[in-house]
């Protein structure tokens, strides 16, 4: 059955900075940035107000550089509890309109408001929601209106701050296809050059490319992006998606039962690297980790731990797995070890409560992780196995789940 849908994407504008302005009105109209280690001028800009952006202040820019561009820049340390409180209030307000609300990060989410189609024009409904968010929460937002989630997300980015944009399939040629490929939701900054080398420089180029070629170049993800460039996105607005229990994991049976901590440690590192590569390939982060220990007598235990920040890097997974192991191990010989991750979240929505004093280290580590990934792709996964012994063979167990497809429907007939 082909039904029309009306999907909103709510995107809060400069969320952290806007929340700070709400708490301290004297900051309104001033160039403001949220950053760590502001006293020593060595921190990194996390976000900035539109007044600061107009003077060249950008996310991830060092504080000293931002101050050079904007000497009157107001700097504030992040207050994550304050931001979480505002986020909770936002989604409570949205759920007053429909139970079909899907948060995707602390400051954005989707609403399926199809039920209102016969009662109020989507533009008027969006204006009411935007007004209430401003009046009741004192926060600005942009809203995209479209027949599916992808187009709604793209629409909300088109007018900021305080914009409301309708993007129908018939509008794509004019509004969407002319945009650079790097502005397409789902295209990572690091992959832009790869797309451009294939002659895909705009979203329209991708939409008109041969599906077979795109899939050959970029796999299943390429096929998905090709569909979305053509306005096809069947994903429902799923209120439970944020709670889905998805897992990606690996286990290995050791060559012999062992109590040797060096062997166990190496194995945990190897498993963590394997899981990390799969997480990166799937473009997801984990918000929980589970460790499996099977002893010499086949007794098997599992222990899990929620993570304070979404994780993908092997060293982060290993550190947590090692902590869990040391708490759970009964000092008997181990036959099998397994590391699994669960409560997965798409990479672009992963919300990390950064320790901003070490944010620069995160950037360096990210560059190193990217280099290691390139080496693995070129020379195989056994290249650059940091701290691991290649003699330990592993048996991998992996479980992941794709989202459900629903029938496509449209905001307005073609």
d(CA 315, CA 364): 14
d(CA 246, CA 243): 9
The two beta strands, 7-12 and 141-146, are: antiparallel
Contact between 116 and 122 (Cβ < 8 Å)? yes
**CB burial string 149-168: b at 16+ within 10 A, e below:** bbbbbbbbbbeeeebbbbbb
**How many angstroms separate the Cα of 94 from the Cα of each of 14, 123, 128, 197, 239?**
19, 16, 11, 42, 12
d(CA 103, CA 240): 9
d(CA 137, CA 203): 35
d(CA 240, CA 279): 21
d(CA 76, CA 86): 17
Q: For residue 396, give the DSSP letter.
A: -
227 is catalytic: no
Both tokens assigned to 386: 């940091």
Residue of 36, 58, 61 whose CA lies nearest to 49: 58
Contact between 300 and 220 (Cβ < 8 Å)? no
Contact between 231 and 148 (Cβ < 8 Å)? yes
Catalytic residue among 81, 108, 227, 315: 108
Output the DSSP codes for 214-278.
HHHHHHHHHHHHHHHHTT-------TTGGG---EEEEEEEEEEEE--HHHHHHHHHHHHHHHHHH
d(CA 333, CA 52): 59
- Enumerate the known binding-site residues: 11, 107
- Enumerate the known binding-site residues for Mg(2+): 11, 107
**CB burial string 326-336: b at 16+ within 10 A, e below:** eeebeeeebbb
Contact between 323 and 335 (Cβ < 8 Å)? no
Any idea which residues carry the catalytic annotation?
108
């Amino acid at each position: 059955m082909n039904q029309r849908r009306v999907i909103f994407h709510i995107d809060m504008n400069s969320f952290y900075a806007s929340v700070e302005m709400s708490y301290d009105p004297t900051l309104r109209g001033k160039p403001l940035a949220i950053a760590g280690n502001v006293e020593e001028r060595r921190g990194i800009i996390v976000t900035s107000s539109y007044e600061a952006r107009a003077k060249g202040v950008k996310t991830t820019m060092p504080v000293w550089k931002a101050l050079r561009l904007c000497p009157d820049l107001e700097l504030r340390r992040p207050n994550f509890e304050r931001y979480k409180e505002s986020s909770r209030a936002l989604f409570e307000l949205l759920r007053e309109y429909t139970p079909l609300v899907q948060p995707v990060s602390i400051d954005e989410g989707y609403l399926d408001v199809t039920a209102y189609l016969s009662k109020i024009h989507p533009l008027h409904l969006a204006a009411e929601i935007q007004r209430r968010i401003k009046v009741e929460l004192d926060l600005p937002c942009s809203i995209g209106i479209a027949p599916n989630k992808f187009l709604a997300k793209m629409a909300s980015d088109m007018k900021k701050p305080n914009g409301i944009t309708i993007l129908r399939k018939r509008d794509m040629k004019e509004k969407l296809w002319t945009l650079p490929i790097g502005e397409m939701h789902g295209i990572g900054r690091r992959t832009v050059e790869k797309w451009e080398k294939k002659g895909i420089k705009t979203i329209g180029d991708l939409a008109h490319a041969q599906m077979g070629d795109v899939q050959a170049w970029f796999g299943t993800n390429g096929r998905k992006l090709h569909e979305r460039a053509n306005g096809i996105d069947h994903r429902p607005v799923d209120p439970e998606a944020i709670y889905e229990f998805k897992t990606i994991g690996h286990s290995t049976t050791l060559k012999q039962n062992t109590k040797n901590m060096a062997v166990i440690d190496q194995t945990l590192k190897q498993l963590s690297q394997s899981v990390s590569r799969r997480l990166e390939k799937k473009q997801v982060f984990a918000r929980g980790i589970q460790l499996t220990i099977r002893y010499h007598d086949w007794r098997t235990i599992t222990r899990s731990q929620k993570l304070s920040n979404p994780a993908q890097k092997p060293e982060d997974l290993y550190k947590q797995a090692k902590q869990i192991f040391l708490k759970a191990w009964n000092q008997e010989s181990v036959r099998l070890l397994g590391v699994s991750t669960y409560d997965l979240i798409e990479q672009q929505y992963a919300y990390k409560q950064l320790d901003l004093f070490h944010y620069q280290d995160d950037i360096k580590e990210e560059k190193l992780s990217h280099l290691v990934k390139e080496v693995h792709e070129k020379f195989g996964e056994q290249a650059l196995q940091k701290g691991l012994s290649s003699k330990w063979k592993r048996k991998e167990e992996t479980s992941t789940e794709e989202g459900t497809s629903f029938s496509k429907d449209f905001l307005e007939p073609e």
